[in-house]
């Protein structure tokens, strides 16, 4: 009878461990919604336009009907660019927000969007070239994703806008032990650094000012409590198994 009770108790204990190690479903889903309609909501979001700031790198290519003259104003030479990275052919924005453009000199692009900066550079170039157009791109946009993701690291991106889900996609997505309701965004504002708490399970995230990331942003996905419980359970089980083995060996050789 005692043996049966012990076996029953062991089964109950094992079931309890199984349930405590399960990950709650609400921790695994993004942008949760209680409704079951096909169209769950339409959200409008003004995409913040990325603006040029000090130490940005800008790739600028001058296009003109006069190719020879246009090449003089481009930060490249077609005969030597074969193996060079695009960031080596870029202009670095100075601490005061200017770039040093060939033959023109300093052009202040600080706090301008790419569209505004292109118009300004084209206007300066019009003094030397007619029928001129330029292409301009950011080339040093990076975000860092850490914590409970499948591939931690710093990731470059070449899109003008990158949202938080795309960034997590670069990192392989959140692991089964990642708490999507507890994501920390670290963002630098001029001379200060701020921490923002983000809940990826809240559908209103798409309306948040943090939905679109900025270059240099750091995302940290926190682990759920279940992970720590599982680690403790694994540790206890390891100690128990080791102790049992040791007792068995000592009993056998006594």
Q: Give the pLDDT confidence of 76-125 residue by residue, as tens digits.
A: 544 444 444 565 668 999 999 999 998 889 999 999 999 999 999 999 98
Q: Do 198 and 146 share a structural domain?
A: yes
Q: What value does the mean pLDDT take over residues 26-47?
A: 52
For residue 217, count other CB atoms closer than 10 A to its CB: 21
| Residue 24 counted as domain residue | no
Q: Do 160 and 101 share a structural domain?
A: no
Q: How many separate domains does the chain show? A: 3
Q: Pick the range with the lowest mean pLDDT from 28-42, 89-103, 202-216.
A: 28-42
Q: Do 219 and 177 share a structural domain?
A: yes
pLDDT for 141 equals 87
Q: Do 123 and 76 share a structural domain?
A: yes
Q: Do 213 and 229 share a structural domain?
A: no
Q: Give the pLDDT confidence of 164-204 residue by residue, as tens digits.
A: 999 999 999 999 999 999 999 999 887 899 999 999 999 99
Residues 206 and 148: their CA atoms lie apart, in Å, by: 22
Q: Is the pTM for the entire model greater than 0.85?
A: no
Full residue range of the structural domain in which residue 243 is found: 225-254
65 pLDDT band (50/70/90 cuts)?
confident
Cβ contacts of 77 within 8 Å, gap of 6 or more: 71
Asked whether 252 and 210 are in contact (CB, 8 A), the reply is no
Q: Do 233 and 219 share a structural domain?
A: no
| Residue 25 counted as domain residue | no
Q: Do 209 and 179 share a structural domain?
A: yes
pLDDT for 198 equals 95
| Residue 154 counted as domain residue | yes
Q: Do 229 and 209 share a structural domain?
A: no
Q: 103: domain CATH number?
A: 3.30.1950.10
Q: What value does the mean pLDDT take over residues 135-145?
A: 90
Q: Do 162 and 99 share a structural domain?
A: no
Q: Do 231 and 188 share a structural domain?
A: no
Q: Do 150 and 119 share a structural domain?
A: no
Q: Do 96 and 64 share a structural domain?
A: yes
Q: Is the pLDDT of residue 46 over 90?
A: no
| Residue 253 counted as domain residue | yes
């Amino acid at each position: 009878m005692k043996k049966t009770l012990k076996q029953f108790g062991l089964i109950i204990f094992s079931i309890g461990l199984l349930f405590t190690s399960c990950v709650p479903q609400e921790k695994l889903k993004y942008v949760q919604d209680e409704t079951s309609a096909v169209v769950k909501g339409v959200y409008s979001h003004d995409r913040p336009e990325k603006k040029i700031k000090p130490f940005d790198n800008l790739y600028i290519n001058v296009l003109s009907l006069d190719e020879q003259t246009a090449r003089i104003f481009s930060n490249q030479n077609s005969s030597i660019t074969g193996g060079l990275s695009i960031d080596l052919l870029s202009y670095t924005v100075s601490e005061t927000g200017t770039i040093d453009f060939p033959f023109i000199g300093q052009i202040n692009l600080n706090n301008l969007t790419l569209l505004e900066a292109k118009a300004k550079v084209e206007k300066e170039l019009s003094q030397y070239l007619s029928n001129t157009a330029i292409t301009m791109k950011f080339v040093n946009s990076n975000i860092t994703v850490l914590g409970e993701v499948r591939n931690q690291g710093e990731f470059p991106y070449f899109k003008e806008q990158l949202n938080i889900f795309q960034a997590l996609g670069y990192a392989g997505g959140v692991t089964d032990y990642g708490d999507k309701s507890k994501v920390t965004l670290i963002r630098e504002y001029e001379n200060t650094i701020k921490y923002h708490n983000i809940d990826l399970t809240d559908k209103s995230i798409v309306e948040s000012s943090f939905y679109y990331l900025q270059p240099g942003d750091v995302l940290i996905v926190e682990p759920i409590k279940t992970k720590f419980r599982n680690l403790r359970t694994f540790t206890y089980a390891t100690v128990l198994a080791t102790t049992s083995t040791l007792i068995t060996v000592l009993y056998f050789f006594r």
